[in-house]
Structure 1
Amino acid sequence: MQALCCIPRLSVIVNRSCRKTSSLRAFSSDSSDQSRGGLPRFFTDVLPSSKARDEFWHMTKVLRLNTDDRIELFNGKGGLVEGCIESIDRTGADIVALENPKLVSTNATQWHVFAAFGSLKGGRSDWLIEKCTELGASSVTPLLTEHSPSIFENRVDRLQRVILAAAKQCQRLHEMALNPPLNVRGLLPIVSRTKQSFIAAAEATPVMNALAHSQREPVGSIIIGPEGDFTEAEVKLILEAGAMAVGLGPHRLRVETATIALLSTAMLWSNSRDYNNT
């Protein structure tokens, strides 16, 4: 067994016989297994050894994990290892690795979200980021537009914490990236390089109709305008770059509602295509 790290705690207390290696689960490289673990899972930058004191409070005070409890560690890049708490002191918890780290790959479509949510207030941007993480978005980029020209810089650190908490809760192994803000003109080259880009627009072709005539691609982009919507000039630029306008129903949706509606539809569609092709 390898000495692992100084790390925290999660929310299920597992059996104490952590040295009974015959009962260890085998981890597959199949991405379908990545959200089915039954052990408390914690983030660490480096596998198999690191220090992660930020997780210590959650591990020992919230989940009340103790010595000999089993846990899982993940690095946000598909790496996963099962470990056991060897000892706990005021500086952290020493973890022993019970296996070599495994790398879990993903073959799902990489959906990148570009949403003009910079001016959202009252926790609405937190909610948007949390749900994008849970649904499996590969990245979220704050989009700067004429009606949403900035993003609150002091929110970035908080949103990163929201991403990490949501990743642990939903047990995704590949961390969602929060990219620096991008203006519409900076978005255009990305759209032109992406074969599958959708922009939410009122009175456009219903998204399900558009998807029914689309081929699954390895990468896709989802584009959502601000409160007050894009200007006509902005929409024209994005469409000319190669995006397809799609409708999300007859009602006017908030930025975060439209983002999650389009992302969840695209994720379910691309995942069903993967399933049908297996």
Structure 2
Amino acid sequence: MKTLVVRPPFVGLLNRRPWLKPSSLRLRTFSSPSSSSSNYSNQSRGGLPRFFSDILPHSKGGGVRIQGDEFWHMTKVLRLNTRDRVELFNGKGGLIEGCIQDIDRNGLEFVALEDLKIVLPQSTQWHVFAAFGTLKGGRADWLVEKCTELGARSVTPLLTARSPSISENRVDRLRRVILAAAKQCQRLHEMTLNPPTKIGGLLPIVAKSKLSFVAVAEAAPVYSALTSFTKELSGTLIIGPEGDFTEKEVDMIIKAGATAVGLGPHRLRVETATIALLTTVMLWSDSLQPLCS
């Protein structure tokens, strides 16, 4: 007879929220921030809840006031209190550990417990151009969230004949999605959400890029295309709208210098194609980087 093991309900919660572990778990210290990408990964993963702030103290004992959404999240959602330890990051590689010194109705005072760390970005710099302006529901949110988690350097809404616009309200929401995803995945460098761009504005970018891929049905598989290129850690990824690019648009993009690649035999949604292509090139880029000694 098999024995059924029932886990207490709080075990899963602890696994999902490592900052709930004992206070002895502190942010590890490392050598120079100019070290390799593995050090970036290590320095980005502390054991404390992390929040965004445009302004960070530069040294131990310095302070900054936290208000707005982050203040609400800290005190109303997580119910943090005075003397609780947290981390702040600025989306530009800055990271600092400190504690909550004081809380009032409108904000709280953060005091640094160490000097500011500056972590350099990873070397992979892939820029995504995706025609997702007409996606319904939360599909555009999901696309942008996963691009943030996977490490895209930027995402640009691409305006095409079959995806001609994106609302300003949608752009504001996507910026909030990016911030939330950066906090969740402990990314220290923000992913840029560029203004919507038409095909005409994309072509000069493709022409200047060392490597550009455009997802096209029935094109050669992306993996086969990658094997024919030498080491590149940056470039542009272009994904069309529901209904795909027009033939004229594809011709313009390829003539500008992009390589057409296929993503399998099935018709993919915009968000699926975007994440499939980004994941493939990110793993390819990572495999080209030298291992740390």
TM-score w.r.t. the length of structure 1 is 0.89
- Deviation, structure 1 residue 150: 0.7
Instruction: Select the residue among 59, 66, 70 that pairs with 1:52.
Output: 66
Give secondary structure in 2 for the equivalent of 1:268: helix
| Matched residue type, 1:151 | I
Structure 1, unaligned runs of 5 or more? 1-9
Where does residue 37 of structure 1 map in the other structure? 46
- Deviation, structure 1 residue 17: 8.0
CA distance in 1, matches of 2:27, 2:235: 37
CA distance in 2, matches of 1:220, 1:112: 6
- Deviation, structure 1 residue 16: 5.8
- Deviation, structure 1 residue 70: 1.2
Q: Could you say if the C-alpha distance between residues 171 and 17 of structure 1 is closer, same or farther in structure 2, counting changes exceeding 3 Å? A: closer
Where does residue 92 of structure 1 map in the other structure? 107
| Matched residue type, 1:219 | S
Which shows bigger deviation, 187-196 or 52-61? 52-61
Where does residue 254 of structure 1 map in the other structure? 269
Q: Which structure carries more relative contact order (alpha carbon 8 Å, separation 6+)?
A: 1
Q: Does 1:182 align with 2:232?
A: no
Equivalence map 1:61-210=2 (5 Å): 61-210=76-225
Which shows bigger deviation, 197-206 or 99-108? 99-108
Q: Could you say if the C-alpha distance between residues 209 and 96 of structure 1 is closer, same or farther in structure 2, counting changes exceeding 3 Å? A: same
Runs of 4+ that moved beyond 4 A: 13-18, 275-278
Give secondary structure in 2 for the equivalent of 1:251: coil
Where does residue 230 of structure 1 map in the other structure? 245
- Deviation, structure 1 residue 113: 0.3
Give secondary structure in 2 for the equivalent of 1:202: coil
Q: Could you say if the C-alpha distance between residues 137 and 213 of structure 1 is closer, same or farther in structure 2, counting changes exceeding 3 Å? A: same
| Matched residue type, 2:164 | P
Are the counterparts in 2 of residues 13 and 69 from structure 1 also a CA contact under 8 Å?
no
Give secondary structure in 2 for the equivalent of 1:198: strand
Higher strand share: 1
Where does residue 26 of structure 1 map in the other structure? 29
| Matched residue type, 1:230 | F
Give secondary structure in 2 for the equivalent of 1:151: coil
| Matched residue type, 1:26 | T
Give identity over the alignment, percent.
69
Q: Could you say if the C-alpha distance between residues 16 and 37 of structure 1 is closer, same or farther in structure 2, counting changes exceeding 3 Å? A: closer
Where does residue 3 of structure 2 map in the other structure? none
Give secondary structure in 1 for the equivalent of 2:137: coil
Structure 2, unaligned runs of 5 or more? 1-16, 34-38, 58-62
Residues 13-51 of structure 1, C-alpha deviations (whole Å, 9 max, x = no match): 465689xxxx66324523122442111100000111543
Are the counterparts in 1 of residues 156 and 197 from structure 2 also a CA contact under 8 Å?
yes
TM-score w.r.t. the length of structure 2 is 0.85
- Deviation, structure 1 residue 215: 2.2
CA distance in 2, matches of 1:81, 1:113: 30
Q: Could you say if the C-alpha distance between residues 239 and 277 of structure 1 is closer, same or farther in structure 2, counting changes exceeding 3 Å? A: farther
Are the counterparts in 2 of residues 81 and 102 from structure 1 also a CA contact under 8 Å?
yes
| RMSD across aligned positions (CA) | 2.0
Q: Could you say if the C-alpha distance between residues 34 and 113 of structure 1 is closer, same or farther in structure 2, counting changes exceeding 3 Å? A: farther
Count of residue correspondences: 265
Q: Could you say if the C-alpha distance between residues 107 and 17 of structure 1 is closer, same or farther in structure 2, counting changes exceeding 3 Å? A: closer
Are the counterparts in 2 of residues 34 and 171 from structure 1 also a CA contact under 8 Å?
no
Residues 177-204 of structure 1, C-alpha deviations (whole Å, 9 max, x = no match): 1100000010000001001110001111
CA distance in 1, matches of 2:292, 2:230: 12
Instruction: Select the residue among 201, 216, 221 that pairs with 2:236.
Output: 221
CA distance in 2, matches of 1:122, 1:230: 22
